[in-house]
Every structure is written in C-alpha cells, then in structure tokens.
Structure 1
Amino acid sequence: MIEEIEISDLGVIAGATLPLGPGFTAITGETGAGKTMVVTALGLLLGGRADAATVRSGASNARVDGRWVVPESGAVSERVGEAGGDVDPFGSNGDAELTLGRTVTAEGRSRAQVGGRSAPVGVLSELSSHLVAVHGQSDQIRLRSQSAQRDALDRAAGADLDDALTRYRAAFDTWQSHSEELDSLTRDKTARESEAESLRAAMDEIEQAAPQPGEDEHLASTAERLTNLEELRLAAAGARESVSTELADGDDVLALIESARRSLERVVDVDETLQPIAEQLQNLSFMASETAGELSSYLASLDADDSHELEAINERRALLTALMRKHGPTLDDVIATLDRGSTRLLEIDGDSERIDALTEQVDVDAQELDAAASALTNVRRVTATRLGAAISDELSALAMPDATVVIEVTEKSEYTLSGRDTVAFLLRPHKGAEPRALSKGASGGELSRVMLAIEVVISASDPVPTYVFDEVDAGVGGAAAIEIGRRLALLARHAQVIVVTHLAQVAAFASNHLTVVKESDGLVTASSVTRLEGDARTAEMTRLLSGLADSDSGRAHAEELLELARPESKVIG
C-alpha cells in the first residue's frame, strides 16, 4: 500500500504531497490542473520511461518520492535487499516501510533510489508487478488486444493455470530445442558432406606424405650443409693438416706439443713446479690427437656424390612447404590436422545417427506438447465460462443489466510460449444481439466498465495491493457512474484504490478525496494537492456536478450523493 507520494517540479506541479493510505482515494481537479501528473509521478516510481519534457519549466530536475507499506519478508523485501536497499520494520504485524525515489533531469537523465540506495531503474520495474496495477485509457485500448484478453483470463485462472502453464512451457522448451537442433542438422547436411569430403582428401594427402615433427627444420639444416659441401671439406682438411703429423713435415701442432713436453720432462726432476705444466702438455697432446681423428672421420663422411641427396631433400622440402601452405601455417599444424580431422569426421558421421534419433525424439516431444497444450486449453475454457459469467454479473451492477460477456478459447495449430490458444472476449450488449469482439463492438464507456468488472472479479483470485485507475469513468455518466463508484468502493475493501476522475458520482464513494489546485500569479502557473474534508469536499463535489462551487442546486445534489455513498465509502479493516 502507498502511504504517501511527494512530487517536486513535475509538469505544472511545483510541489505537492499526496496523503494516500488504505481505502479508496479519489483525485479530482479542473482540466489542466495536473491530475495526470499524479499518474505520471506514480509511473516514474514504478520504472516508467523518463521524459525531460515533464520537468517543470525553469527547474533543473523533477523528483518523485514514495513511501510504501510492504510485508517485512517476501518477494518485495528480498528484491530490495538484492539491490542493496533496506525496508524499515515497524509495529508487530510484520509490516515495513519502503521508500522509492526517482529523479529526472532537464537533460533527460534519470536516477532511481530503492530503500535508501541508488539502484538501476529496472529494479523499480521489477518491483512494480508486486506493488501496483495501473489502468488508464491506454489500457482500455489494450483490452481490445487478444494478448491482453488472454492475460486477464490467465490471471483469473490462478494456481490451476500456473501449474498447467509450467508443464506446458517445459514441454514447449524441450520440443523447441530438439526441433531447432534437428532443423539445423538437416539444413546443414550438404555443407557437412562437403566438409567431410574435403577433410578426407586433406588427410589422405597428409598421410601419404607422412611428415614428422621437426622434419622441416632438420631438412633445412641438411640442405644448408650439402649446399656448402666443398667449403666444408676444404676447411676440415686444412684443420686436420694443421694438427696431424700424417700430412705435415714435423711442424704441426702435435709435433710442437710433443717437443715442448719432452723439453720439460728432462728438467722436471730439477724443479717439481714444472710437473703440472708437463701434465697439461700431455693432455693437450691427447686432445689434439682426438681432434685430428674426429676431423678425419668428418672428412670421410663427406660423400663426393651428395648432390643427389641434396636434390631429394629439396623435393621433400617443397612437398612439406605445399602442405604447410594448405594446412599450416606450421608443420605441427599439418600433423595436428590428422587428429582434428579424425575427430571431426566422427562427429559428421555421427550426425546421420543423431538426425534419426532426433526425428524420433521430436515426434515424442510433439505428443507430450500436444497433451500439455490440451490441458492448458481445458483450464482456460473452464475459467472462461466462470469468468464470463462473473463479469456479466458485475456489468449488471455497473448499469449494463442486459450485457453479457462471452469468452471464447480457440485452439490454433501454432505453438507459442503461452500455448496454442486464441482468447477472445465478446460482448453481447443486449439479449438477441450477436456477441461481438470488444475490439469492434464496445464503446469507450463500455470498455471502461468491462475493465473495471474484470479487475473486481479477478481481485478475488489474483489480488494486487494497489489499483490505480486514470479516468476509468471516461465516456460514462449518470447511474452508470454511480455504479462505477460503488464497485470501486467494493474493490477498495480488499485493496488500495486510487482513481483520477472528473465525475462526482465516482468521487463520492472515496474515503480519501484529494484535489489538484492550479494557481497563477499572471506569470507562473503552479499546482498543488489538497486533502478535502467537510465543506471543502462538498464544494469540490458541487463544482464537479455543476461547474460552479457555490451553486445551491449543485450543492444539494452533492450532499445527496455523499450521503448516498457514505455507507460504502468507509475504510474496512
């Protein structure tokens, strides 16, 4: 329930406080005074679109703050906590106070506050479904749509429909998922066959070449060696001649080292410090001899006919380069293509089996979906009969005694997330007439009453804490308006009801009467909100009836209306 709303610099309202509370609150005022801004303010608190044009001329921003009474625990409190805000418990009956705020700048930027903390505007939208149901003239137009009519029927169905719809949506999701996978596999079958053919050709080509890891680098090194074969031979031969006595005249490295070692050995007994040096020369002699042997082996390995080997290596390198260009960029990538290709071929080959399995599964899914859809249709049809009769009874109380609402539920072939039913509300304005769709056969005033009748009936099975009606009495007058006021008062026995109205017959049944007053000093026009009681309320009722606040006849009529409505305008509970 909304306790209070504060408005600053919104439209023509410079500053206003709306004391609301339980029961039926009527909001009246002259045309252009800003009554609609009250609904706009509430819309902002419920996450509605922010419009810079609603900011009062000359103000930097518009601000709306609201205080709600909500359960201390439950969906609302949990979502507020998730957003970082808090509710403030009070009393001993489990109630708590929730504050919501919204600011809109003249540049069109918007900020929201939830439970004392900044929060995304989307949080306000999430909370709105738990807090308020708002109905305006646009909702009367929306009621002409089949989706809105189906939503109304589903709300009336309550828990039975929730269970049936949950089962249906589970079946729908399963069927849709398998159907989409089957369609995708079937649609891409040709592309997969082409991919498999290309993979097999690539794998055959790679398998025939049989590349080895690192082979390209090894072949490049070998080719470099063979290309410089003669230079390598000359260098190795020269080096061997320099260290080997086999090809020198006694002045090679080995001979010189041996000569130095023998010179020291002759005198090592005289000075023992020469012994380590002599041993080093001995080691150098061994190393030089080994080096000479290794150079001889290296020269022996250089085949004079290695040109044929170079040709074969270059051919092999050209083959590997072609493979890397097609399946690389590296040789490792080429080799990995074999593993990846084998895995992918298994997947592609398995698709045919998957298509067969999915085809059978989709048939099973379709049978389960059909059964779930039929169960959902049955719930809706049972509810349609009950709801149509209850709405017709309400319309009788709303000065449409001969009107009957018939709700048709028709199955269609197409499945959607909400079922396969088309729901149509038909109105028979009087006996003997053919029922016609609301979109074709109902006037604005009739739509207003049908919408109110629906809310009164549905509130018993799908209660909403607060209802807001913006000129629900449009196109209505006389006795019908009195009955609308009476039904709003009845609805207010179970929920908070806020109504923006221009009819005294409706306002008379309010337990809380607020008026939006427009004032001007010749330069600036501003509106404020005042709670009416006693003579002030009678004067406003007189103005609504006759256009003159001091009309004697109008005043008498106003007092008569207030007296008529008094027993039904009391706050219950």
Structure 2
Amino acid sequence: MLEELRITGLGVIEDASLPLAEGLTVITGETGAGKTMVVAGLGLLFGGRADAGRVRTDAGRAQVEGRLRLDGPDTRTSSAVRQRAVDAGAEVDDDELLLSRTVTAEGRSRAHVAGRSAPIGVLSELGELVVSVHGQSDQMRLLQPAEQRAALDRYAGAEHEKLYARFRETYVRWRAAADEYDKRRREAAERGREAELLELGLAEIADVAPEPGEDESLAEEARRLEHAEALRAAAVTAHGALSGDSDAMDESVDVMTLLAGAQRALEAQASVDSSLGEMSSRLIDAASVIGDVAGELGSYLASLDADPARLEDIFARRAILKALTRKYAEDIDGVLAWAEASSLRLAELDTSDGAMEALAAERDRLAGETASLAARLLASRQEAAGRFAEEVSVELTGLAMPHAKVLAEVTLRPAAKGPHRLAVDGGECGVGPDGCDEVELRLQANPGAPPASLQRGASGGELSRVMLAIEVIFAGAGGPPTLVFDEVDAGVGGRAAVEIGRRLARLAHRHQVIVVTHLPQVAAFADRHLVVAKDVSGAVTTSGVHAVMDTERARELARMLAGLPDSDLGVAHAEELLAVAGKEKRAIHANS
C-alpha cells in the first residue's frame, strides 16, 4: 500500500506531501490547482515517461518520493515487491520501502530504491505490482479493439493466459518456418551457387585428405633430410667423443674412459677424505647420463635417412598442401576447420527437393497446430465474453444505468484483415499473433435500441461508468492493491455520481483507492479528503495539499456543489450529503 507521496518542483506544485491511507482517498481542488500533477507524480514515481517541460524553472528539478508499506494483508504482493527491490540491490530492513524519482530541467532522470540508485525499469516493475492508474486517456484506449481484447484476456483467467501463451509460441514457430521456406525459394539460385562452391572446396580438401598439423610435421622432416649429412657428421663426432666408438677417435681419450679414470682415482682416496667419495658418486651419475646420450645418438644415427626420393615426395606433398592453405586458411588446421564449418553451412543451404519438402512439411504441421490453438483461443474468448458482458452489465445497473447492457462480441477475423491466413473451424480467416478473432465491446444503452460500438454508442459519462464497472470486476479478481482514478467521473452528475461514489467506496473496502474528482457526490464517500489549493500571493503561482475534516470538509463540498464555500445553505447541503454517504459506507462495511 502507498502510505505517503511527496512531490517537489513539479508543475505548479512547489512542495507537497500527500498522507495516504487505506480505503478511499479523494483529491479535489479548483481547476488549474494542480490535481493532475498528483497523478503525474505517481506516474513518474512508478517509471513513467519524464517530461522536462513539467519541471519548475525556479527549482531546476522535480522529485517524487513515495513510501510503500509492506505489512499489509496482501502478502503475495508484498513479498514480490520486497524480492524485486532486493534483486535491484536494495536493503529492505523493515516493513517500508522508499522509492524516489528525480527529473532535471534538462531531462535527465534518476531512480532510487531504498536509497540505492536503480534503473528506471525497476520502478516500472514495482509499479505493475503495486498500482494501477486509470484516467480519461485509459477510457480512450478502451475504444481501441486491441485494448478491448486485452481486457477480455485479462478477465478470462489463468488457464486462458496459458492457452494464449502456447498459441503465441506456436504462431512464432509457424511463421519462422514459413518465412524460411519462402526465403529458400527466393534465394534458391544464390544458395545453389554458394553450395556448389562449398562442394568444390570440400571435394578438393577430401581428395588431398590432410592430417592435422601435417604441414608442420612435413616441414620438420624436410629440414632433416636437406641437412642429413651435416646432422650425421655432428652425431658421429659427438657419439665418438662420448663412447670412443669411432675410427677417427683415439680410444684412450673418449669421455667415458676419462670419467672412469677420474672416478677410480677419487674413490681410492675416499677413505681419507669423504668429500672425494661424494665427488666420485657424482661422476658415476655423470657417466650414466653420458651413456644414455651416447645410446640415443646411436639410435639417431640409425634413423637418419638421406633418401632423395623421400625428399622429393615431401616437396610434392607440401606443394599440394600449400595450394589448400592459399585458398582456405593460413595452415592445415585452419583448412580442416573451414571444411567443418562449410559442411554445416552446406546443410543449411540444402535446397534439394527432399530438403524443401521436409521444410514445407514442418511449416504445414505448425500451421495446423496454430489453427487448432487459434480455434481453442476463439472458443475460450467467446465463453469469457458472455460472462464478462453479464458482469459488466450488472455493475452498470448499480451505476444508474439499470437498462444498459454491454455485449462482448468475438467473431472470426475476415481473411483480408489478417496478416496471414489459415483455415479455422472450416473457414479461412485472418490470423495474427493475437489470434484469429476480432473483439468488440458494444453498448445497448436502452431496451430496444440497437447495440452500438463504444466509439459510437457511448457518451463521455457512459464511457466513464463502463470503465469503472470493468475495473470493479477486475479488482474482485485480484490485481494491484492500489487503484488510482483520474477524473473517470467526467461527464457524470446527479444520481449517477452518487452511484459512482458508492461503487468506489465498495472497491475501497478491498483496495486502496485514490480518486481525483470534481464531483461532491463522489468526494462525500471518502475516508480521507485531500484538497489541492493554489497560492497566487507570490510572484510565482504554487500549489499545496492539505487534508480537510469536519467543517472544513463540508465547506470544500459546498464549493464543489455551488462554488459557495461560505454559504450556510451550501454547507448544510454538503453536511446532508456527507451523512448520506456515511450511512451508505456503514452499510457496505456491515455487508462485507
């Protein structure tokens, strides 16, 4: 629940605090006093578009702060709000959450959640959980078919939403398959040319059959063969010096003989000086290492090949591999990677009859599934439409429209009006991401009168009451705990105004309701009455907000009734109105 709202530097409001509470809060005031700025402030606080033109020039920035209570009876909403705030990095230590939105005169905007900077989108997400704002612009949106369909879908319930989500998912897959099929047909020639080039490249690589790293291994082997004699001479010299196994070496001076003599000489004196014994052991280790190297040199000499024919074969193979690396990659590993990627691409480019037939089959399968789900969605909307129209009509009876009926018509969309066509329930119709039907709300204002669409058949006052009736129905099914109505009672008066006040009071029994109104009949039902007052005493016009009670409240109602707040007759009339409203409210509480 929204417990307090503070607005500074916004429009005519210099600095105003709105103490809010449970039940019905009404906001009244003279025309131009700034009542609309209160709703604008709520919109800003919960992520609405920032309008720098509304920032007071003397202030340089507008700020809206709100305090939410999280210990109300709607624990599910409170938990969701708390969790989203925590996810945004805020620390929620108690049962309150502070939100803030600042807009500068240059249009820069910042948001804070529990004192921590946060994206504006977080405020929007919190707003969807906490508050639902309805104004005259919402009434105009209700005239649009898409909004009427959205209202019906919202009313239809959770199972309908699951069906709708499944339809949208299948529709997207169907259109993706259909678009891919059409794209392949259009690009068949280009794809065919690309596929032909890829096939030629893959065939060339397959004929060569390179091995990973083969170019590097062949280069190494070629270097050895080209320098075989020099390598052999170096190995023979080293081997003879280590082991004496060479005709060119004097056996008396080979390394192994010298090491053996040195080791024996040191070992003979080890009993006299132990350090010579330690050195003798190290010479034994050195002789072992040199023996191993001598053995490896012998194996190296045995493996050394100076075959000219092998060298020619290597040169020829390297030339073939070089041709591949010039065309496809820098080295053979890159060539093999190109071949792997090209094989996958070739599968994507497949425009053979078999591939096209398979894609067409998948497209047709998804089209059938989409049509089936569209038919179920149509039936679900038609069933919900009957219940929806009946409940709205009942509410209109209580809003001084006892003979009015709302009809919700759900019909198949003509094939020519849809982005795509499908056969649904045996007939071709237009299908889009919202289904295969058209939804229209019609109003029959009086018995015998032909039902007319809301655009043509509803006056401003009637449209206000239809909107309120719909909101009352939605409120009964859950939704945000705080409802805000911005002059939805425009064009209404007399008995209808009293009925609107009564309905709002009923709604406030389960929700926090905030109403900006110009009707005293509505204001009389308030649990808290706030007045926006304009001050023109200074150089700049400003507005403030204060709560009124008792006599002051009666005077405000008298001003709203006749523009005469100081008239005894007007005040008496206002007190009578307050008494009637109080009696009605007690009856509402008693019957709840």
TM-score range, shorter chain: 0.7 to 0.9
Change (3 A) 1:189 1:110: same
Please name the residue that 2:155 is paired with.
156
2:126 match: secondary structure: helix
Paired with 2:343 and 2:395, the residues of 1 have a C-alpha distance of: 72
Change (3 A) 1:208 1:381: closer
Please name the residue that 1:440 is paired with.
456
Deviation at 1:187, TM superposition (A): 4.4
Please name the residue that 1:373 is paired with.
374
Mapping of 1:479-498 within 5 angstroms?
Answer: 479-498=495-514
Q: Gaps (5+ residues) in structure 1?
A: 90-95, 226-257, 262-299, 303-308
2:87 to 76, 82, 85: 82
Please name the residue that 2:139 is paired with.
140
1:401 match: secondary structure: coil
Paired with 2:307 and 2:101, the residues of 1 have a C-alpha distance of: 90
2:526 to 510, 513, 522: 510
Alpha-carbon contact 1:155-1:462 (below 8 Å) kept: no
Count of aligned pairs: 508
Please name the residue that 2:42 is paired with.
42
Deviation at 1:209, TM superposition (A): 7.7
* 2:38 is aligned with 1:22: no
Paired with 1:6 and 1:552, the residues of 2 have a C-alpha distance of: 35
Deviation at 1:465, TM superposition (A): 0.7
Alpha-carbon contact 1:397-1:483 (below 8 Å) kept: yes
2:517 to 501, 518, 531: 501
* 2:468 is aligned with 1:452: yes
Paired with 2:2 and 2:22, the residues of 1 have a C-alpha distance of: 8
Q: Deviations over 1:518-551 (max 9, x none)?
A: 1122412221111111110011111111112112
Alpha-carbon contact 2:215-2:318 (below 8 Å) kept: no
Please name the residue that 2:396 is paired with.
395
Identical counterparts, % of pairs: 50
Q: Please tell me the root mean square deviation across aligned C-alpha atoms, in Å.
A: 4.1
> What letter matches 1:126 in structure 2?
E
Paired with 1:176 and 1:349, the residues of 2 have a C-alpha distance of: 20
> What letter matches 1:552 in structure 2?
D
Alpha-carbon contact 2:188-2:351 (below 8 Å) kept: no
Q: Gaps (5+ residues) in structure 2?
A: 227-247, 251-305, 414-428
Deviation at 1:128, TM superposition (A): 1.2
Q: Over alpha carbons, which structure has the higher Rg?
A: 1
> What letter matches 2:468 in structure 1?
L
Paired with 2:29 and 2:177, the residues of 1 have a C-alpha distance of: 59
Deviation at 1:82, TM superposition (A): 0.7
Change (3 A) 1:171 1:520: same
Paired with 1:52 and 1:334, the residues of 2 have a C-alpha distance of: 59
> What letter matches 2:362 in structure 1?
Q
* 2:542 is aligned with 1:543: no
Change (3 A) 1:482 1:346: closer
Mapping of 1:38-437 within 5 angstroms?
Answer: 38-70=38-70, 74-89=79-94, 96-203=95-202, 213-214=214-215, 326-328=327-329, 341=342, 344-345=345-346, 348-349=349-350, 353-412=354-413, 413-437=429-453
Alpha-carbon contact 1:405-1:428 (below 8 Å) kept: yes
Change (3 A) 1:526 1:431: same
Paired with 2:384 and 2:205, the residues of 1 have a C-alpha distance of: 69
> What letter matches 1:381 in structure 2?
Q
Alpha-carbon contact 1:24-1:569 (below 8 Å) kept: no
Change (3 A) 1:517 1:364: same
Deviation at 1:181, TM superposition (A): 4.4
Please name the residue that 1:11 is paired with.
11
Paired with 2:378 and 2:209, the residues of 1 have a C-alpha distance of: 65
Change (3 A) 1:544 1:337: closer
> What letter matches 2:363 in structure 1?
V
Deviation at 1:10, TM superposition (A): 1.8
> What letter matches 2:360 in structure 1?
T
Q: After superposing the two structures, state which structure 1 stretch, 23-32 or 441-450, moved more.
A: 441-450
Change (3 A) 1:88 1:486: farther
Deviation at 1:170, TM superposition (A): 4.3
Q: After superposing the two structures, state which structure 1 stretch, 355-364 or 191-200, moved more.
A: 355-364
> What letter matches 1:104 in structure 2?
V
1:74 match: secondary structure: helix
> What letter matches 2:524 in structure 1?
A
Deviation at 1:353, TM superposition (A): 4.4
Alpha-carbon contact 2:218-2:318 (below 8 Å) kept: no
Alpha-carbon contact 1:426-1:435 (below 8 Å) kept: yes
Deviation at 1:179, TM superposition (A): 3.9
1:408 match: secondary structure: strand
1:194 match: secondary structure: helix
Deviation at 1:208, TM superposition (A): 7.0
Deviation at 1:66, TM superposition (A): 1.1
Q: Deviations over 1:361-394 (max 9, x none)?
A: 3333333333322222222212211111221222
Paired with 1:485 and 1:339, the residues of 2 have a C-alpha distance of: 73
Paired with 2:13 and 2:307, the residues of 1 have a C-alpha distance of: 104
Paired with 2:354 and 2:464, the residues of 1 have a C-alpha distance of: 59
Instruction: Name the TM-score, length of structure 2 as normaliser.
Output: 0.74
Q: After superposing the two structures, state which structure 1 stretch, 405-414 or 339-348, moved more.
A: 339-348
* 2:475 is aligned with 1:476: no
Paired with 1:406 and 1:511, the residues of 2 have a C-alpha distance of: 34
Alpha-carbon contact 1:158-1:462 (below 8 Å) kept: no
Paired with 2:337 and 2:15, the residues of 1 have a C-alpha distance of: 74
Deviation at 1:24, TM superposition (A): 0.9
Q: Deviations over 1:413-470 (max 9, x none)?
A: 3444433332110112222222121122222222111101111122222343111111
